[in-house]
Amino acid sequence: MSQILVYADQGVDGGSLKQLMRSLKQEVDLTQHSVSRIDSKQLIASNWENTTQLLILPGGRDVFYHAALDGKGTDKIRAFVYAGGGYLGICAGGYFGCDRIEFEKGETIEVCASRSLKFFPGVAKGPAYGNNRYSYESAQGAEAAPISWGDEFCHVYFNGGCLFDAQNSALCEMKILSSYLDLSAPAIIQIPHGDGRAILSGVHFEYQAVLFSSEDPYLAKISPLLMNAEVKRRKIFREIIGSYAIALKNDDKSEYLF
């Protein structure tokens, strides 16, 4: 049985972790794959690569990921993917997978710095919908982002995520899987690395609006759009996870787009 590992350590947002774990356990065939958490010490010191098919870094604060993993941790992740493993970075995990990030540039919570995974040899720029809206304390910057998926579109949850500056896309075999329809910019990208590959996402395609608090006014504004898009969101989630050769419940690989 191969495993899916989800990074869970300082900087990971509790809500993002809960949403991701729920979606994985809802969609993945758990008779074929285990879903477990891994912290920075385990990632650096243990031989997790031998039994792992997919490593996921969820939403949160990328600066903490960098502080804990830069060096030995990121070297192990790159080697794992190069040997055929899969990396999925969502929101903060997407920023973390790029050569450089520019978050709230010029503002008080600015984070502009290089990163060491460098799956995407360009810049993750965010928040995609502009500065001075995101908050670490609330969902005031949340959006129901309209994104493309094949010939369709879908509203998915967004809060502080990036777009991927594709000016340097010629430096790698980047494939744009999805774009922000209202920004005309990449929202989800795929990059090969050796025998494996990384998928980086600025949006939360793992979020289920049914889990939102009904008392949060920011989430209440976007919940109807997200609830109406739930069938398509699940399709996107299943196709992304399934593209790593992960067996899914009631699996039909003929639906996969890539």
Mean pLDDT of the chain: 94
Task: Provide the token pair at 166.
Answer: 């594709």
pLDDT value at residue 258: 42
253, pLDDT greater than 60: no
Contacts of 252 (CB under 8 A, 6+ apart): none
pTM for this model (two decimals): 0.95
- Residue 256's pLDDT band (cuts 50, 70, 90): very low
- Residue 132's pLDDT band (cuts 50, 70, 90): very high
Give the CA distances from residue 251 to residues 2, 24, 181, 242, 258, in Å, rounded to whole numbers and listed in that order.
17, 14, 29, 9, 15
- State the total domains in the chain: 1
Cβ 154 vs Cβ 146: under 8 Å: yes
- Residue 166's pLDDT band (cuts 50, 70, 90): confident
Q: Domain residues for 23?
A: 2-255
pLDDT tens digits, one per residue of 44-61: 999 999 999 999 999 999
The CATH number of the domain holding residue 209 is: 3.40.50.880
Q: What is the mean pLDDT of the segment spanning 221-235?
A: 97
Task: Provide the token pair at 18.
Answer: 């809960």
CA distance 178 to 188: 5
Give strand ranges (E) for 143-239: 143-149, 152-158, 163-164, 175-180, 185-193, 196-201
pLDDT value at residue 169: 54
Q: Which of 6, 210, 4 is nearest to 92 (CA)?
A: 6
254, pLDDT greater than 90: no
218, pLDDT greater than 80: yes
pLDDT value at residue 171: 56
pLDDT value at residue 170: 54
Cβ 236 vs Cβ 205: under 8 Å: yes
Please give the residue that has the higher pLDDT: either 256 or 179.
179
pLDDT tens digits, one per residue of 174-192: 999 999 999 999 999 999 9
- Residue 255's pLDDT band (cuts 50, 70, 90): very low
How far is CA 50 from its chain centroid?
23
Per the listing, tokens 């010490």 go with 41
Q: Which sign, positive or negative, has the C-alpha torsion 104, 161, 224, 183?
A: positive
Cβ 83 vs Cβ 51: under 8 Å: no
